[in-house]
Structure formats: structure tokens, C-alpha cells
Amino acid sequence: MKRTLPVLAALAAASLATATEPAPAFRDFDVRKEFADNPFTVFTGRGMLLCAGDREKSNAMTIGWGALGTLWGRNDAVTVYVAESRHTKKFLDGATHFTVMAFDKEKQADVLAYMGRHSGRDGDKAAALGLHLAYTANGTPYYEEAQAVYECELMYSAPFEPDGMRDVPKALYADFPAGVHSMYIGRVVRAFRRDDSARVDPIERNKAAMRRFETCINENDLALGRELISEKAAFATPVSPEPLHGAEGYLSVVSLMRASFPDVHWKLEEMVADERTVAVRWTCTGTFTGAAPFAGIQPNGRSFSTSVMNFYAFDEDGKIVSDVAATGIAGILQGIGAGEAAAR
């Protein structure tokens, strides 16, 4: 059954979203807005668990070194460090994604102690601890028993160069049998944490999805879009004779919008939700400085700011299947002088 993408969403791309729950007891969250731990002590204070691999084979290890912060224009960077001899290193070297996990107080000490003392070369550490593997939409492994999971897409990796070391690292590696560490820098593409209320609260799940979708459309993040938009969704638009499907189809409309308004931005102002529908009011702004015309008008450098109202329907798996736009396109056309162009 085809779904219709209204004119507003087709031209202004102001909207669609929903979150995928990795497991019934988890809820997604935005690390840039909701991460409460001290980044200077989160690794050394309690340690974290690092996991890499695929659905066929994976390994996890305890890490006490790490860094969180801003790098290469992104404020969701995560850096982990793995020594040459560690069993997990070969999984990281062949991976595109990895996860970093924290556990609750009851499990944290036991899990990290065992994972730190034993090697995956010698047996199944997860089975010994009673942990159960699960996988994200990207196939990245994590454990269902984790309290919080940070899935990262690998951006860069390289070993430390001994020639660049000063006194502190020189002293450490002078007697460090595991070998020199390599750094692995990733960006958080998904974060989710345990919350038993998520099992029975699809309303909060759907609202959390919309907050994640705000990031998706503003960063044109296809990987995130694939998590939020049903593959079965089909959107009829004025820009294509055939329906556009899934995240790729929807974000192609966002790209068309950026061709006219390179700085287009959507800000989520308020929302109301029930179990299957979320109503969202956005503020959409942009400047008509792109190369592409919009609604038959040539770029003229003018700006717009308009209120956009959309209604989103979710399927039972928590994915967007349709949206209905109520307002918004008139504000864009007025801002860029559509009436003046028609008068001339």
C-alpha cells in the first residue's frame, strides 16, 4: 500500500521519524543532550566494556582508557585504545562499528573483572557470565544485560608512534607486555539505555524517536534514517513519477531541499503523542543561497522562518509508515518572495 508524502514534506522535508528499540527494555537517547557522566572519569571511575565483531563472531574486553568529546567538527566522538596483543584488536581492525557498554552497579564489577582477566582466545567469556549477545541494525554486537550501550561508527584508527612519545608513555611502555596501543576513533550513531518502562510505554518511545529524527534530518544521516524509517514506507512526491522508498527516498527529498537552502534547519518545538501517532510542531528556517530553484523561483538570497506541523504514524515495530503535513509551505514561499515573483 502506497503512502503519500504531502507537499510540505516533499518540498520542505520537515519531518518523519521514529526510533527502533534494540530490545524491549531499552530506550534510545541523545548523548549530546542526555549524557550525564563526567567524561574525565567515566572510564577510570568504573571502566567500560568494549565489543566488536559481527553476527558470526565477536569479542569483548574491559577498557580503562578512553576519551569523549569533540573532534573533526563532531561533538559525539568516542576514542578507545587497545593494545597490540589483545584478542579484541583483530575484531576492531576488521570492523566498521563497535560498541562501548556500561552495566548497573550489581553487574559492573563482576563483568569487568572477568572480562579483564580472561581472554576470548580461551573460551566464551559472555557465556561464562551469562550474557546474551544482541545486534544493532548495523549488525554491531552488544549484550542485552548492559545498562547503557553506545554504538560507534569507526572514523579513524592508528597505532601510537613510539617516536612521538614523551616521558609518561615511554615509562609505561618500557614495562608493558601487551604492546603499544592503537587508537580507534568513532562517532556515536546510536545510544540506548535500559529502562523497563519502555516495555509498556510506546508513547515515550515515539517521542524519543522524534528527538532523534531532529538530528537525522539536520545532519542528513542516512544510517540513522534507516533505523527510523520503515523500509516498506513509500512516499509519493512531486519530484518523482515513482514513489520514493524508505530512508533513502525520504532523505533524497531533504537533499533536494538543501540544494536550494544549504543552511536549512529544523528545530523541534513541541509534540503530542499517543501509542501510534505523534503530532510535531517544527520551526523550519533557511536562506535561499543554493544553486537550485525552489517552486519555480530562482535563488535570491532571501531567508524564511516558518512553523511546520506534521503528524506521524508508527507501525507496531516503532517505525514511521506515514506522515501528514498540516501547515508550513506558505511560510517558505512568502519568505522567499513567491508573491512578488508572481506579481512581476
Q: What would you report as the CA-atom Rg of the chain, rounded to the nearest whole angstrom?
A: 23
Q: Which CATH number fits domain 26-194: 2.60.120.330, 3.40.50.300, 2.60.40.10, 2.30.110.10?
A: 2.30.110.10
Q: What is the pLDDT of residue 3?
A: 40
Whether 67 contacts 78, CB under 8 Å: yes
Residue 165: name the closest of 173, 155, 177 by CA: 173
Q: Is 112 left (phi over 0), alpha (psi -120 to 50) or beta?
A: alpha
Buried b (16+ CB within 10 A) or exposed e, 154-189: beebeebeeeeeeeeeeeebeeeeeebbbbbbbbbb
Whether 82 contacts 181, CB under 8 Å: yes
Q: What is the pLDDT of residue 92?
A: 95
Q: 320-327 and 303-314 as β-strands: parallel, antiparallel, unpaired? A: antiparallel
How far are the Cα atoms of 12, 218, 257 from residue 103, in angstroms, in the given order? 42, 32, 42
Which CATH class name applies to 3-21+197-343? alpha beta
Other CB atoms within 10 Å distance of the CB of residue 202:
18
Could you check whether 3-21+197-343 and 26-194 share the same CATH topology?
Answer: no
Instruction: Please give the Cα distance from 216 to 198 (Å, whole number).
Output: 22
Domain locations in the chain as residue ranges: 3-21+197-343, 26-194
Q: What is the DSSP string of 109-124?
A: HHHHHHHHHS-GGGS-
pLDDT in tens, the chain (344 residues): 334 333 333 333 333 333 333 444 788 999 988 888 888 888 876 689 999 999 899 999 999 899 999 999 998 999 999 999 999 999 999 999 999 999 887 788 889 999 988 999 999 999 899 888 999 999 999 998 999 999 999 999 999 999 999 999 999 999 888 889 999 999 999 999 887 654 557 888 888 888 888 999 999 999 989 999 998 887 767 677 888 889 998 898 889 899 999 999 999 999 999 989 999 999 999 999 999 999 889 999 999 999 999 888 888 878 888 777 776 678 888 999 876 654 44
Instruction: Please give the Cα distance from 17 to 146 (Å, whole number).
Output: 26
Whether 324 contacts 300, CB under 8 Å: no
Buried b (16+ CB within 10 A) or exposed e, 228-254: bbbeebbbebeeeeeebbbbebbbbbb
Q: What is the pLDDT of residue 185?
A: 97
Whether 314 contacts 13, CB under 8 Å: no
Q: What is the pLDDT of residue 2?
A: 39
Burial tier of 330 (Cβ tally within 10 Å: 0-12, 13-18, 19+): exposed
Contacts for 142 with CB less than 8 Å, ≥ 6 apart? 22, 51, 99, 101, 133, 134, 135, 136, 149, 151
